[in-house]
Structure 1
Amino acid sequence: AYIAVASELFHTAARRALDRAGLRASDIDAVVSVSSTGIATPTLEARIADALGFRPDILRIPLFGLGCAGGVSGLALAQRLADADPNMRVLLVVVELCSLAFRCDRLSKANIVATALFGDGAAAAVISSRDGGEGTELLPGCQHTWPHTLNMMGWKVDPNGFEVIFDRAIPPFARRHLRPVIEDFLGRLKVEKSAVSRFSFHPGGAKVLQAIESAFGLRDGALDIERQVLREHGNMSAPTALFVLKQMLEEGRSGLSLLTALGPGFSAASLPLMARA
């Protein structure tokens, strides 16, 4: 089920991103594929290469295991590739089928609630430095992994499949520990906090958003785009951050933003981006 449906979503998302960029698949030099909800070997980008029309010499970079942080981490990696080679066009495709983690043999309250937070989805984007400087500018990203936090988020894998691990301690952990990491990110990037027009986040759940608003001194409901995406699509894991980014751009929210997601590790991934009005 994973390979068939994920391949279809991959193809659809990639085609839409290419069409929006006015490019053919043969114009793409590298493809970054992100997915943590299933395993495919050959990986998804290889399975749809002929149907999309990728060149035989395309650089394939599949990423697994980043969970909810996969979208931001994938964007950050694509940015680094494009920045390293100004002639390179990179296609990022993020696909997750979180519904596959529903376990009929694990009908505990904790598992049902954790599974109910998640949904299926896909997103894609083209990242390049060569096409006239139009669009949103991505700046170098940062990551942070907290020690001794392996059991906070991830998969428990057994012969019957994946069982989601989503610790109830995540909201209070984010409230206590996320802001210092973000401030450290900004320091490493030499960006003043006052220069950031919006702090944007992967909406991991309503309680996580409340904890983040509290940590950053934001009013209740300030993360309106995140709540809208969560309400309309659920937490799709890795693609969700790209849905937030898309909504920001469609609403014309310009200026410097910092897009952040939390994922297994337990880790935070952040990416600064400059959106032009």
Structure 2
Amino acid sequence: MSVKITTVVKQLPKYSRDTKDIIPFVEQWMADQDNRFKRKVIKIFEGAGVDKRYSIMDPIEVFTNPSFQGRNDIYIREVKALAKQALEKALEKAQWKATDIDFLITVSCTGIMIPSVDAYVINDLEMRQDVVRLPVTEMGCAAGVSGIIYAKNFLKANPGKRAAVIAVEAPTATFQLEDYTMTNMVSAAIFGDGAACVLLSSHEEDEGPEILAEEMYHFYNATEMMGFKLVNTGLQMILDKDVPQRITDHFPNIVHPFLSKSGYKIEDVDHLIFHPGGKKIVQTVEDLFGSLGKNINDTKEVLRLYGNMSSATVLYVLEQFMDRGVEKDALGLMLSFGPGFSAQRVLLKF
């Protein structure tokens, strides 16, 4: 019995701006800062590899609404709508009904809400009252792949079932108006908002890339490298500048033993479905993977078009592969990194 990914869709928020159109807002926000510092920040935005990003808020509101409660209220309202829309779109694409879903996983780390967003989706779409639900709230950028791992394990243990993973994130709701550190600047330059939905199945008749293997990899002594700190004004980004180097140092242990357990080598992998955490991380992995004559063009394209949408981003990369079509029996390695510090891996056979 195999578990397959049958469908992937993205769902974008209603606001969007090109990076060049956001820079004037940034300049106005930094009006009281030193000119040298302002030039440095603008260069960060211009060199982030992000041409456009989407948002649950209009840019004017992003730069003028400092209230944690105000931003979080918008987050709650908008992620409920985005999650519902993403699942509806995925169900329509797969020609499934909402009542076909046995296991519902929702992923988000950029706001706070109890009950979690899955409860609202169940009500809005009148899903079955016995659907199993799992909210994943504190795994950051890695959680899109984490959700797939959890869904796969559930489906492997329950043949003939179907699962949905909905990742919905709004990093703009975490932007700190009184924080002029480089961490806040870099996160503002690379992040955008977005949602995605993945449908998985252990029904024999359902088609899609098969999940051959999945594993998590946890870095020791790295809990302070990435995450959020809860402050009076909301969720303040933590992002260590040494993350790319740590990834480089651990990359052999992350990739080679994992593939070896399934009888493969890195040379056997045809496609890397990699989470675009930011330009430096993308360049780091591109150098490592490019030495094998392979590319991560889809990852770079998603970063350019949408920015880093935390957990949802790698699912946008996966959607590009699935919608374009991949040669039969090709191997794909899904890879994402997140707080902990951790790496999540899924091996796919198309």
TM-score class, shorter: over 0.9
Give the secondary-structure state (helix, strand or coil) at the position aligned to 2:340.
coil
Give the secondary-structure state (helix, strand or coil) at the position aligned to 2:133.
strand
| Equivalent position of 1:51 in the other structure | 124
How many angstroms does 1:131 deviate by? 4.9
Unaligned runs of 5+ in 1: none
| Equivalent position of 1:256 in the other structure | 331
Match of 2:107 among 34, 39, 49: 34
Partners in 2 of 1:45 and 1:76 — Cα distance?
18
Match of 2:278 among 196, 202, 205: 205
Partners in 1 of 2:148 and 2:93 — Cα distance?
17
Higher mean alpha-carbon deviation, 131-140 vs 16-25, is at 131-140
Partners in 2 of 1:68 and 1:50 — Cα distance?
27
CA distance 1:86–1:220, shift in 2 (3 Å): closer
CA distance 1:218–1:200, shift in 2 (3 Å): farther
Give the secondary-structure state (helix, strand or coil) at the position aligned to 1:149.
coil
How many angstroms does 1:38 deviate by? 1.4
Partners in 2 of 1:130 and 1:194 — Cα distance?
31
| Equivalent position of 2:148 in the other structure | 75
How many angstroms does 1:221 deviate by? 9.1
Higher mean alpha-carbon deviation, 92-101 vs 196-205, is at 196-205
CA distance 1:78–1:189, shift in 2 (3 Å): same
Partners in 1 of 2:297 and 2:124 — Cα distance?
38
| Equivalent position of 1:64 in the other structure | 137
Partners in 2 of 1:265 and 1:243 — Cα distance?
23
How many angstroms does 1:219 deviate by? 7.5
2:183, 2:237 within 8 Å by CA — same for their partners in 1? no
**Quick check: 1:100 aligned with 2:173?**
yes
Larger Rg: 2
1:176, 1:215 within 8 Å by CA — same for their partners in 2? no
1:79, 1:139 within 8 Å by CA — same for their partners in 2? no
Partners in 1 of 2:293 and 2:156 — Cα distance?
37
Give the secondary-structure state (helix, strand or coil) at the position aligned to 2:195.
strand
Partners in 2 of 1:90 and 1:110 — Cα distance?
36
Partners in 2 of 1:35 and 1:109 — Cα distance?
24
**Quick check: 1:114 aligned with 2:212?**
no
Aligned CA RMSD, in angstroms, stands at 1.6
1:76, 1:140 within 8 Å by CA — same for their partners in 2? no
Give the secondary-structure state (helix, strand or coil) at the position aligned to 1:140.
strand
Aligned positions of 1:123-272 closer than 5 A: 123-218=196-291, 222-254=295-327, 255-272=330-347
Give the secondary-structure state (helix, strand or coil) at the position aligned to 1:139.
strand
| Equivalent position of 2:348 in the other structure | 273
1:144, 1:268 within 8 Å by CA — same for their partners in 2? yes
Partners in 1 of 2:157 and 2:213 — Cα distance?
11
For 1:125-164, what per-residue CA distance to the aligned partner results, in whole angstroms no more than 9, with x for missing partners?
1111115141121223111111000111100111221011
CA distance 1:74–1:229, shift in 2 (3 Å): same
Partners in 2 of 1:102 and 1:245 — Cα distance?
27
Unaligned runs of 5+ in 2: 1-73
1:174, 1:215 within 8 Å by CA — same for their partners in 2? no
Equivalenced residue count is 275
How many angstroms does 1:77 deviate by? 1.1
Identity, in percent, stands at 35
Partners in 1 of 2:318 and 2:181 — Cα distance?
34
The residue identity in structure 1 corresponding to 2:178 is: D
For 1:158-186, what per-residue CA distance to the aligned partner results, in whole angstroms no more than 9, with x for missing partners?
12210111111111221222232111211
Give the secondary-structure state (helix, strand or coil) at the position aligned to 2:310.
coil
2:82, 2:168 within 8 Å by CA — same for their partners in 1? yes
2:107, 2:168 within 8 Å by CA — same for their partners in 1? yes
